[in-house]
Structure 1
Amino acid sequence: MPPSHPVPHDKAADGAPPCRDEPSWTGGATRLRVRSETGDGPSPVLRLLLDGELDVDTAAALREDLTVLAARSTVPSLVLDLSGVTFCDLASLYTLLGICRTLPLVGIEVRLVEPSAAVRTAARRAGLATDLNLDRGGEEPPPVALP
C-alpha cells in the first residue's frame, strides 16, 4: 500500500546533487513537518528534522515513510533530529525505538539527536531514555579510558 502522503526524496539514490533544507513531507494533518538534509562527506548521511507533534498518528506515518525510504535509499546513515518536537507520547517513543532497532537490519545506521524537552521528558517518564540513547542528547557516549 502506498504511503498516504509524499515520501522524502533521497537525492543520493538517483545521483542528483544533495539539497539542503529541502521540504519533504508533513504527516498527521500537518501536525508533524519533516525536512530533509543530505550531508556531504566521507559517509553520506540523510538528516531528517522533525518539527511539531510526534504522537500515535504522526509516528505511524513517519514509520511508514521511513520504511519506503529505507527500501530505496543508498544512504547508510539516518539522523533524526528531534529538536523541533513539541509533543511526544508513548506510542511515538516505541515507534522511534522500533526504527532504531529495525533499520540497522537493512544496513542503515540510525541516530536520534537533539531531543527536545518534550521528547526527553516523555522518554524519562516511560523509562526509555537509555534505550533510545537520549540521556546524552542522542550523542555517542564518550570513550572509556583504559588504565
Structure 2
Amino acid sequence: MPHQAGQTSDDHSAPAADRARWPGREAKLTFTVETGAFGTPMAVVHVHGPLDYGTSVRLETGIERLWERVSGGYLVLDLRQVTFCDSTGLSRLITAFTDAQRRQVALLLAALPPFLCRTLELTGLTPFLPIRDSLAQALAEAKAHSGHTGGQQPPV
C-alpha cells in the first residue's frame, strides 16, 4: 500500500424513507482518502457501501475538497466495496469524470464490483469512463506517469 501522508474518513446515513424502502440494505456510505508520497499529485478514495440518492452527495463533497490537491495528477476511486449504485450514484461518477477533465486531473475508477461493471455496460458508459481492473493497476498507471508535469491531463 502506498505511503499515507494524510487520511480522512466521512460517512453519511441515508434518510429514513430510503432505509424503509430497502430494508436490510446497508444505508451508509463511508469513504477514506489517501494522499501523500505517490510521486505525483494523487488521492485515492476508498468507497464503502451504497452509492445512491441518500449518500452520493457526501462522495461528491469529499471529492470537491480534493481537486486542488490533485491538480495535474490523479484521482482514483476504489469502488470494490460499493454495495449498490442507483442513477444518482451513476450521475455522481459521471460528474466526477467531467469535473476531472475540466480540472486536468486523470480520474480512474478501480476495482468495480461485477454489478457496477454490468450497469455501466448496459448504460453505454463503459467506453467513456476510465475503468481499471484493480486498485493496484490504477496505482501502477499513476506511478508510471509520476514524472508527468505541465498543464496537460495525464494519459488516461
Q: Which runs of 4+ in 1 moved over 6 A?
A: none
| TM-aligned CA distance change 1:69 to 1:41, over 3 Å | closer
Given the superposition, is the C-alpha separation of residues 38 and 65 from structure 1 closer, same or farther in structure 2, using an over 3 Å criterion? closer
Cα contact 2:100–2:106 (8 A) shared by 1: yes
Q: Which runs of 5+ in 2 are unaligned?
A: 15-26, 139-156
Q: Output the TM-score relative to the length of structure 2.
A: 0.64
Match of 2:5 in 1: 18
Deviation at 1:121, TM superposition (A): 2.3
Q: CA deviation at 1:101?
A: 1.2
| Structure 2 CA distance for aligned equivalents of residues 104 and 79 of structure 1 | 13
Higher RCO (C-alpha 8 Å, min separation 6): 2
Q: Which residue of 2 aligns with 1:45?
A: 42
List per-residue Cα deviations over 1:65-87 (Å, max 9, x = no partner): 322332x4255321000101010
Mapped partners of 2:86, 2:56: distance in 1 = 9
Residue of structure 2 in register with 1:69 after alignment: 66
Q: Which residue of the partner structure matches residue 5 of structure 1?
A: none
Q: TM-score, normalised by structure 1?
A: 0.68
Return the offset for 1:61.
2.2
Deviation at 1:23, TM superposition (A): 4.3
Q: CA deviation at 1:36?
A: 1.4
CA RMSD of aligned residues (A): 2.5
Number of aligned residue pairs: give it: 120
